[in-house]
């Protein structure tokens, strides 16, 4: 009897640990694409998300959803220079939107990686 209980525990404990780690999510990070400039902002995410929009400094509202192409890369093209800091909004899997204020600084550079603090 003790042997079967021990075997059961050996099978269950790793599954519980895997579930606990898997349910924590991954922190969403934003990498500034190498093709970004003062009038173009390419954001590359480390996880798949949707309905991405941004709000540059001075804007009254978030942009329309950014075009995603290729996968996990979202681009904002502007006729005017894009001013930071930039807030970021995306659709959450559980429903609703999440907003990260001023996540991209005014002096953003191509290749820089910014942590959002959001678990997805």
Asked whether the bond before 34 is cis by omega within 30 degrees of 0, the reply is no
Q: What is the pLDDT of residue 93?
A: 77
Complete domains list, the chain, with CATH: 27-119 (2.60.40.760)
Put simply, whether the predicted model's pTM sits higher than 0.75 gets the answer yes
pLDDT of residue 4: 55
Residue 22's pLDDT is what? 47
User: What burial letters (b/e) apply to 33-47, b meaning 16+ CB within 10 Å?
Assistant: beebeeeebbbbbbe
């Amino acid at each position: 009897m003790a042997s079967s209980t021990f075997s059961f525990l050996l099978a269950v404990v790793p599954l519980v640990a895997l579930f606990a780690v898997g349910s924590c999510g991954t922190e969403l990070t934003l990498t500034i694409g190498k093709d970004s400039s003062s009038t173009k902002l390419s954001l590359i995410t480390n996880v798949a998300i949707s309905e991405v929009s941004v709000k540059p400094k001075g804007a009254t509202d978030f942009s329309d959803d950014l075009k995603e192409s290729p996968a996990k890369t979202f681009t904002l093209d502007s006729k005017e220079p894009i001013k930071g800091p930039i807030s970021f909004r995306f659709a959450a899997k559980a429903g609703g939107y999440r907003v990260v204020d001023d996540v991209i600084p005014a002096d953003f550079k191509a290749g820089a990686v910014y942590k959002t603090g959001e678990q997805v």
